[in-house]
Amino acid sequence: MKIVFNLILAFFLSLTTPVVTAKAEYQADVNKGYDSYSYIVDYENSYYSLVVVEGLVDDKITYGVFFFNDVSRAYYITLVNEQTGLRQLFPETNRGDVYVLGFQVEKGSSYTILIRDKKSHEQHLPFELSLGLKTEEEIGLSATVGLGKGVSMTDLETAYWFKPFKINLPALIVSFFIALAIVSLIVIIYFYRRKKGVFQKKDESDFDFEKFINSDEFDHFLSKEIEKPVFEIKPEDVTVEEVMEDGTIVVIKEEVTEPVYKRYERDVEVELSNFNFIEYLEKEGLPTDYAQLDDETKNQITLRLMYLKDQNLITVDDYLKEISKLWKS
């Protein structure tokens, strides 16, 4: 007889679905942990089951949520602040189910629960749910008395986007700066290897001749190259011979005012050659109309002129004259 009874019991237990077993276990834990409680939602359809408990734990308003997917991770739930729209996520099991015995909400705000599928389509529920509107006294009046052994409280994670794009804001900020640092490093390495930007080697012959030609430094350079000072005449060295009526010659000194500034005179012997610059530049494939040239082309021509001067193919005066024409045109 015992064998038959055990077989019948085993048969009926085998008919129990996973959701029934999980739900019964959850309700037993609620009764064990809460001081007093009531189920404000106990809903089930072909796709999922939802249970929401409201009660008191240590004289504090506490809520619990049980959510079970018929198909693993087919749906997920979110707690939403109805005033601010802020969303919070419940911790999930490996199947994507929710088994939260206790969590608390901010006083003065009302909350609801949204159910969405994998494509974030919201499910329309046949009831309205608002958490956080009742006082301790209101909850205690219509509640079932539990054993009051306490439950573990769960801190809900803030959701900034729905799945599959839900993220944590601090993690997003850290990830952004890490990505920015990586991109910056890649750019630096690229420019370093390509020798571009600040890593570009500056040509030693890269000289701003236009700026030099139009500066006071160039005028000073010219004065040193083609001008020379006239020797100074000291007053004590100047004498005048005067013949008196009796034929006597008297030597007297003439007062000479010393100039405040030194005087210079240009060297009249300017050394110019008959070098044909136009023919040379055309032979080198360079333009000869200086007025139409950009700075880069002028720099190229200047380098050619420096080469001619260094090879003594033109004189210094040739070089200075042509440079002046080039950069002042």
Element (H, E) at 213: helix 209-213
How do residues 3-62 score in pLDDT, each as one tens digit? Answer: 655 555 455 545 567 889 999 999 999 999 999 999 999 999 999 999 999 999 999 999
Q: Quick check: 251 and 241 in contact, CB under 8 A?
A: yes
Q: Would you say the pTM of this structure is higher than 0.75?
A: no
CA angle, corner 153, sides to 152 and 157, nearest 5?
Answer: 135
Q: Which region, left, alpha or beta, applies to residue 59 given φ > 0 means left and ψ of -120 to 50 means alpha?
A: left
Pair type for strands 144-145 and 36-44: antiparallel
Per-domain boundaries in the chain: 18-167, 173-200, 209-227+263-328
Instruction: DSSP letter for 254, please.
Output: P
How do residues 77-111 score in pLDDT, each as one tens digit? Answer: 999 999 988 999 999 999 999 999 999 999 889 99
In whole angstroms, what is the distance from residue 238 CA to residue 243 CA?
A: 17
How do residues 152-204 score in pLDDT, each as one tens digit? Answer: 999 999 876 544 445 556 677 888 899 999 999 998 888 888 766 666 665 54
